[in-house]
Amino acid sequence: MNHFDYKNGELHAEDVALSAIAAEIGTPFYCYSTATLERHYRVFSEAMQKDALVAFSVKANGNLAVLKTLASLGAGADVVSGGELKRALAAGIPGEKIVFSGVGKTKAEMALGLKNRIYQFNVESEVELLALDEVAGALGVKAPVAFRVNPDVDAKTHAKISTGGAETKFGVPWSHVHTAYATAAKLKNIEIVGVDVHIGSQLTDLAPFEAAFTRVVELVGDLRREGHAISRIDLGGGLGVPYRNDNLPPPDPAAYGALAARITKNTGARLIMEPGRLIAANAGVLVAGVIYVKQGENKKFLILDAAMNDLIRPAFYDAYHEIVPVAAPTADTQWTHYDVVGPVCETSDIFAADRPLPVLKSDDKVAILTAGAYGATMSSAYNARPLAAEVLVKGGEWAVVRPRMDDDALFGNDRIPPWLG
Ligand code: LLP
């Protein structure tokens, strides 16, 4: 469910025509819908237990306006770097609603988290634990810790976004978990608070969640018997979204919430959830203009002004994104098939192969859908292409929430060494 619809022959974000934004700021740009973000957040949090912490995964979409929109509904944040932590704090998310994940937290990042009294560090190894103990000791505070455990469960998603298998770098290996907790219990500056798990992203089946959550709940029982005070269970993120209109939709948040509640019900623990994609993906589109339509030897290329540097998911994961014209097709519309590509000098700079679309011409606009998560956050300035603008719509209003990168931001930070004059 989202708020991008055709009205009066034009694709709108809520009550704003995307062509009106394009006319004012040019293309490409990301456009996010407040109503969709709010709806997804509400549907998700209402599906969870009342006291659960819903910590939005900032890596999905870290724009301050997006974070502030979610913060105003009560969202917390799941961060994986000092930069994301600063973004969350800058958007008004209090430390007490922030959890810090990731296999390679530096001591400086740990100190930043401790100074801001974050809710929990999801620690992924014993070496990291020792570093955290040292940093907390130097600051004279105790670090609240959950170990992220690796339950060795196959998430049955794309290999590049699967994190719960024993072969991945993520989490404390299952066979080391008990020693990790025993070590933590002996450290003066560490307070054990919970257990954390995250097995992967874009899961379209509940079975891997069920397997992982069940293992974690058994573990919580064992750890408590060993004398550890486990009061929180962080179940991570990972619930998938529909990218294709013609596929079966993934399980809805209500089914996912019910599963989490059923499996954890006798633990008495507070649940933490870290959804990213589910909140943001369908709340954003990437609007691009057609530069040229090029006839190849045996196919037609629709060359857009957006490219893999703006949205890398198709190139990186062979991800499918729906692409629709901004001008609504009519009964008279002529259709054809295009390879939809960008101007970047890489063969993988392709958004879609052999895709049915109306016949289009230079300056026409298209929208690449389900681009609100892992779109702008994964973009780069490759080929010296400025990062795209970002826009947030609310009802009939819209605002640029990140202007297109200018030349100064693009290369103004480069420095010429003295020997080059
Ligand atoms: N928590 C942790 C510890 C994570 O590593 C992630 C995502 C999440 C939560 C949020 O997962 P979500 O609810 O969004 O599935 N760039 C890839 C996705 C990478 C996900 C990495 N971790 C993509 O574009 O598909």
pLDDT in tens, 68-109: 999 999 999 999 999 999 999 999 999 999 999 999 999 999
One domain for residues 354 and 243: no
pLDDT band at 158 (very low <50, low <70, confident <90, very high): confident
Backbone angles phi, psi at 395, to 5 degrees: 60, -120
Q: Let me know whether 115 and 232 are in one domain.
A: yes
- For residue 151, tell me if it sits in a domain: yes
pLDDT at residue 345, as a whole number: 96
Cβ–Cβ < 8 Å for 91, 146: no
Give residue 198's domain range. 102-273
Q: Is 61 within 8 Å of 377 (Cβ atoms)? A: yes
| Domain CATH number, residue 335 | 2.40.37.10
Query: Does 265 share its domain with 285?
Result: no
Residue 110: inside a domain:
yes
Final residue of a structural domain among 221, 255, 273: 273
pLDDT mean over 391-417: 98
What digits encode the pLDDT tens for the residues 266-318? 999 999 999 999 999 999 999 999 999 999 999 999 999 999 999 999 999 99
Using the 3D structure, point to which of 250, 273, 296 is the last residue of a domain: 273
Mean pLDDT of 141-168: 88
Q: With a 6 A CB cut-off, is 277 part of the ligand 1 pocket?
A: yes
- Distance in Å, CA 315 to ligand 1 centroid: 17
Is 79 a domain residue? no
Instruction: Report the distance separating Cα 237 and Cα 278, nearest Å.
Output: 9
The reply to whether ligand 1 has any atom less than 6 angstroms from the CB of 120 is no
* pTM (whole model) above 0.95: yes
Say whether 345 is catalytic: yes
Residue 164 has a pLDDT of 80
Residue with more model confidence, 165 or 372: 372
Tell me what pLDDT residue 247 has: 80
Instruction: Tell me, yes or no, whether 256 and 403 share the same domain.
Output: no
- d(C-alpha 324, C-alpha 309), whole Å: 20
Domain count, the chain: 2
**Residue 106 lies inside a defined structural domain of this protein:** yes
Domain edge (last residue) among 252, 273, 294: 273
Task: Report CA(164)–ligand 1 centroid distance (Å).
Answer: 12
Q: Span 38-58, mean pLDDT?
A: 96
Distance CA 219, CA 54 (A): 22
